[in-house]
Amino acid sequence: MKSGTSLCFGIIISIFCFGVRIDASTKTVQDTNDFNNEKFELLLKRLDYVERRNDEMERRMEIMAADFREKEKALNDRITELEKLNNPRNSDNDNHVTNERFVNALDDSDNVTDETNGRDSVQKQTRTIRSGSRRARSVESDVAFFAAITPHDVEHLGINQNIVFDHAFTNTGNAYHNIHGIFTAPVAGTYVFCATVAGGIVRNDHDQTYYAYFDVNGQTLANFITYPYKQTTQMIIVKLQVGDDVSVRNNRVEYGILGVLYTSFSGFLLYQDVGSSVNIVGK
């Protein structure tokens, strides 16, 4: 009896354990299926997100392509307009090439004798270029000089007397007059002048100061102040008309300056007024 009971109990226990194993296996399979379902749903969501991103990128690319086409069309239209504007100018220039000519501002005149060394100087001419009704910028005339006192000192100068820089090393355009120490503007324009004055022996023991000044048509433009055996330099930039005079003048009686290349005067034409022509001023 006991054996039969034990057998039955063993069978029941076996069936229970088998049932438990079946339940555990079923639960494991169910958990695995749930996990796979979750992964599948996540993959579906990611795929949907990628598709939406791809659609958005395609729309943006279409917009950019349309914008590019519009800008390309606008650029081509602009190029066409510029070509239309440029073609008449080119044809007009071609028509005027054969008619373009140089016009001399002055008729030929006699050569002018250089005061310092008797050389003949070539008259400088201003040229203008005409093309149709338009006028180009004038070609500047050559005007430049450099002069110095040589070889002796200058003493006993009178008040407001021109300092004569007797030797002109350079006198392009012959506008500087070495006999009078005066520069006379041959053309209207803006000029640059520079002078260096070296003080000489002063007879007055109470005042060793020497004074001079730049004179432009009788007007003082810049002053010099120096002392015995010392130099001072001034530079001016001034607008002149044809025939205007520029010189360096003494400012006190009986005062002297050093020569032997210690005292000099120079100038040049910076730029010429448009339309101004060369005038050879009598010397």
Please tell me whether residues 60 and 155 are part of one structural domain.
no
pTM of the model: 0.50
Q: Of 99, 134, 160, which residue is a domain's last?
A: 99
Q: How many domains does the chain have?
A: 2
Q: Running DSSP on this structure, what letter comes out for residue 282? A: -
Please tell me whether residues 237 and 156 are part of one structural domain.
yes
- Judge residue 140's burial from the number of C-beta atoms within 10 Å of its C-beta, 0-12 exposed, 13-18 middle, 19 or more buried: middle
In a domain, 201, yes or no: yes
Q: Are 277 and 126 in contact, with CB atoms under 8 Å apart?
A: yes
Q: Of 66, 99, 132, which residue is a domain's last?
A: 99
Please tell me whether residues 83 and 156 are part of one structural domain.
no
The amino acid occupying position 22 is: I
Residues near 127 by Cβ (< 8 Å), separated by ≥ 6? 102, 103, 104, 105, 138, 139
The 3-state DSSP class for residue 229 equals: coil
Q: Are 159 and 252 in contact, with CB atoms under 8 Å apart?
A: yes
Q: Position of tokens 């009896």?
A: 1
Across-strand partners of 183?
A: 176, 246
Task: Tally the residues of the chain.
Answer: 283
Q: Give the pLDDT of residue 113.
A: 40
Q: What is the pLDDT along the chain (283 residues), one digit of tens a residue?
A: 555 666 666 666 666 666 656 666 666 767 777 777 888 888 888 888 888 888 888 888 888 888 888 888 888 888 888 887 776 545 445 444 444 544 344 444 444 344 444 444 434 444 443 434 344 334 468 999 999 998 888 877 888 999 999 999 999 999 999 999 999 999 999 999 999 999 887 665 566 788 999 999 999 999 999 888 899 999 999 999 999 999 999 988 777 889 889 999 999 999 998 766 655 444 3
Please tell me whether residues 150 and 262 are part of one structural domain.
yes
Across-strand partners of 231?
A: 198
Please tell me whether residues 177 and 268 are part of one structural domain.
yes
Q: For residue 122, give both structure tokens.
A: 């070539």
Q: Of 79, 99, 119, which residue is a domain's last?
A: 99
Q: Which domain holds residue 176?
A: 142-272
Q: Give the pLDDT of residue 139.
A: 43
Q: Give the pLDDT of residue 7.
A: 64
Q: Give the pLDDT of residue 213.
A: 96
The amino acid occupying position 3 is: S
Please tell me whether residues 21 and 80 are part of one structural domain.
yes
The amino acid occupying position 117 is: N
In a domain, 190, yes or no: yes
Please tell me whether residues 166 and 77 are part of one structural domain.
no
Q: Give the pLDDT of residue 196.
A: 95
Please tell me whether residues 203 and 268 are part of one structural domain.
yes
- Strands 255-257 vs 127-131: parallel, antiparallel or unpaired: unpaired
The amino acid occupying position 265 is: F
Please tell me whether residues 92 and 152 are part of one structural domain.
no
In a domain, 280, yes or no: no
The 3-state DSSP class for residue 96 equals: helix
CA 112 from centre of chain: 40
d(CA 157, CA 199) in angstroms, rounded, equals 12
In a domain, 112, yes or no: no
CATH code, 234 = 2.60.120.40
In a domain, 6, yes or no: yes
Neighbour-count burial for 105-138, b at 16+ CB within 10 Å, e otherwise? beeeeeebeebbeeeeeebbbbebeeeeeeeeeb
Please tell me whether residues 75 and 175 are part of one structural domain.
no
In a domain, 38, yes or no: yes
Please tell me whether residues 147 and 86 are part of one structural domain.
no
Please tell me whether residues 256 and 158 are part of one structural domain.
yes
